[in-house]
Amino acid sequence: MQQTPPQPHHPTSRRQVLAGAAGAAAAFGLTAASAGPAQAAGPAGAAEEAARIRRNARTMLGRMSLKEKIGQLFVLEVYGTRADSSHAKNKELYGVSTPAEVVSKYRPGGVIYFDARRGPDNLKDARQVAKLSNGLQRAALRSGARIPLLVSIDQEGGSVVFRMLEPATQLPGNMALAAGRSRTDVRRSAEIIGSELAAMGINQNYAPVADVNINPNNPIIGVRSFGSDPELCSTFVADSVRGYHRGEVASAAKHFPGHGDTDVDSHTGLPVIKHTREELDSIDLPPFRAAIARGVDTIMTAHIVVPSLDSSEVPATMSKPIVTGLLREELGFDGLIVTDALDMGGATEDFPPDVAPVRALQAGCDQLVLAPKTDTAHAAVLAAVESGDVTESRLDASVLRILEHKMRNGLFPRPYVDEARAERFVGNRRHAADAARITDRTVTLVRNEGKVLPLSGAERSVLVTGWGADQVAALAKAVGKRSGQSATPLETGPTPTEAKIEEAASAARDHDVTVVVTNAAASAKDKGAAQASLVKALMKSGSQVVAVAVRNAYDIQRFPDVPAYLATFSYGDLSLASVDDALYGDLNPSGRLPVSIPALDDPEKSLYDFGDGLSY
Catalytic residue ranges: 267, 340
With contact defined as beta carbons under 8 Å apart, do 464 and 488 qualify?
yes
Question: CA 250, CA 191: separation in Å to the nearest integer?
Answer: 11
What residues are paired with 205 via a beta bridge?
A: 153
Question: CA 238, CA 294: separation in Å to the nearest integer?
Answer: 6
Question: CA 493, CA 486: separation in Å to the nearest integer?
Answer: 22
Neighbours of 11 (CB within 10 A): 14
Question: CA 90, CA 402: separation in Å to the nearest integer?
Answer: 25
Q: Could you give the 3-state DSSP secondary structure of residue 69? A: helix
Q: What is the DSSP letter of 556?
A: G
Neighbours of 155 (CB within 10 A): 23
Strand pairing report for 544-549 and 564-567:
parallel
- For residue 154, give the nearest of 84, 77, 238 by alpha carbon: 77
Q: Could you give the 3-state DSSP secondary structure of residue 294? A: helix
Question: CA 517, CA 117: separation in Å to the nearest integer?
Answer: 24
Question: CA 404, CA 496: separation in Å to the nearest integer?
Answer: 53
Strand pairing report for 204-205 and 150-153:
parallel
In this structure, the chain runs to a length of 616
- For residue 335, give the nearest of 377, 294, 306, 276 by alpha carbon: 294
With contact defined as beta carbons under 8 Å apart, do 55 and 28 qualify?
no
Neighbours of 206 (CB within 10 A): 26
SS3 percent helix, strand, coil of the chain, rounded to 5, is 45, 10, 45
Q: What angle do CA 398, 285, 316 make, to 5 degrees?
A: 50
With contact defined as beta carbons under 8 Å apart, do 136 and 200 qualify?
no
Contacts of 463 (CB under 8 A, 6+ apart): 487, 488, 490, 504, 507, 508, 510, 511, 513, 514, 515, 543
Contacts of 225 (CB under 8 A, 6+ apart): 174, 175, 209, 211, 212, 213, 233, 260
Q: Could you give the 3-state DSSP secondary structure of residue 337? A: strand
In single-letter form, the type of residue at position 352 comes to P
Determine if the peptide bond prior to 172 is cis (ω within 30°). no
Helices (H) and strands (E) counted in the chain, each on its own, are 22, 16
Q: Could you give the 3-state DSSP secondary structure of residue 382? A: helix
- For residue 131, give the nearest of 6, 255, 298, 37 by alpha carbon: 6
Question: CA 525, CA 502: separation in Å to the nearest integer?
Answer: 20
- For residue 133, give the nearest of 158, 165, 124 by alpha carbon: 124
Question: CA 580, CA 479: separation in Å to the nearest integer?
Answer: 6
